[in-house]
Every structure is written in structure tokens, then in C-alpha cells.
Amino acid sequence: MKVTVLQDIMSANDRIASKNEDLLNKNNVLAVNVMSSPGAGKTSLILETIKKLKNQIKIAVIEADISSTIDAEKIIETGVPAVQINTGGECHTDANMFGTGIEQLSLKDIDLLLLENVGNLVCPAEFRIGAQRNVMLLSIPEGDDKPYKYPLMFTTVEVVIVSKMDYLPLSDFNLDQFEKAVKGINPDAHIFHVSIKNGTGIEEWTGWLKSQLRLI
């Protein structure tokens, strides 16, 4: 009984995810699902991406949180349209929530849609939402053993951003070992080293985003 219900939920989710993706493609919108643990720097990365790209491309943001609107308020201050979705206790965004967020945006006025998912290394990786690209951040203070502990997240993304690189000198994070572990489970992943504080890697990240925009 429990299993059947769960399968129904997942296949219903995937149907809505496909509808979301069709709608985005039809409107030439590239949606990027940004995932990480709490506090790995998703909001800071999104704010920096807006700063670098908002004069070149039209950006919008969907902020997903269990509760609160703190992050959406920060985005709106930049002048970019932002929608807040609260998951009401759920540890991830599902396709239906993402679809509800999309409906509130004027898609024809958007090139790049960034979704900040709930801070969590587990559940968000289990739900397709219909974004064409999936990206995760792993911050230096979290440690280099995370690909072994949260393998699904590391295999469902096209990009792994190692964030808070400025903390590296204080940390025993082994970058080589980490990258080998990531490539072992996801050989095609792009890995960028980023620090918002000192600007490391931002060009590479925004360059990748622009290259993906040309593909859709």
C-alpha cells in the first residue's frame, strides 16, 4: 500500500516536471535548479550571478524555503523578478510547487530562471522539477567526504560548485581527493571553484551559464 502510493506520487511528479520543461523550452527559458546544504552559499551565488549578468540577459528567480521570505526579499532588492514558494515543511521543491512558481512569472520576459531549492543534500535530488539544468554547491567547511555520503545529489547534477574557497587555508579539505570522488560517480560533471568573497571562479560559472543559454 505504502509503496503504491509512493510510486503514484513520483510518477505524477514526473508528468508535471515534463510539462514544466515543455513550457520553459517553448518560451526559450533556461531554468537552473540550484541545490546544496543549508548555508553553502546558494543565495550569495545567485546574487553575484545577477550582478554579473543582469545587463546582458533577463533573469528571474524562484526562492523555495520551508518557511520565511528572507531570500526572496534580497533578490527583489536587485531589481530582478522573484517569486517565493514555501514548501510548508517539505524538504524539497516538487514539480507542482515549481510549476506554481513559474505560473507567477512572465516567461516571455525571461532568459534565465534560477531556482534556489530548499537547503538539503538529500530530498531535492529525488524530485525532478522540470529545470533543464541541475547544479549543486558544496562549501569547503562541509568537508570533502560528502560525495560518499550523498551520492545521489552528486550524480544528478551537471555542475558541482565548490563554494567558500576562501575558507580553504583554514580547512583540511582535500580538493584532489574530492574531485576524484565526484568524477568517480559523475564523470561528466563540471567542477568550478568559487569564492564570492574574493571573486574566484565567477567568470567560469557565468561563462558556463551563458554557454548553456545558447543551447536551448
Residue numbers at the binding site for its own copies (CB under 8 A): 1-2, 5, 9, 37-40, 65-68, 70, 89, 91, 118-123, 126, 139, 141-143, 145-146, 148-152, 164, 166-167, 170
Q: How far is the CB of 147 from its own copies (least distance, A)?
A: 10
Q: How far is the CB of 40 from its own copies (least distance, A)?
A: 8
Burial of 23 (0-12, 13-18, 19+ CB in 10 A): middle
CA–CA gap between residue 70 and residue 120 (Å, rounded) = 17
Nearer to its own copies by C-beta: 111 or 142? Answer: 142
Residue 42 and residue 75 in contact, taking contact as beta carbons nearer than 8 Å:
no
Say which residue the cell 507542482 belongs to. Answer: 96
Residue (of 86, 98, 158) closest to 128 by Cα position: 98
Nearer to its own copies by C-beta: 178 or 192? Answer: 178
Residue (of 156, 127, 152) closest to 12 by Cα position: 127
Q: How far is the CB of 2 from its own copies (least distance, A)?
A: 6
Q: How far is the CB of 154 from its own copies (least distance, A)?
A: 11
Nearer to its own copies by C-beta: 101 or 132? Answer: 101
Residue 59 and residue 112 in contact, taking contact as beta carbons nearer than 8 Å:
yes
Nearer to its own copies by C-beta: 199 or 207? Answer: 199
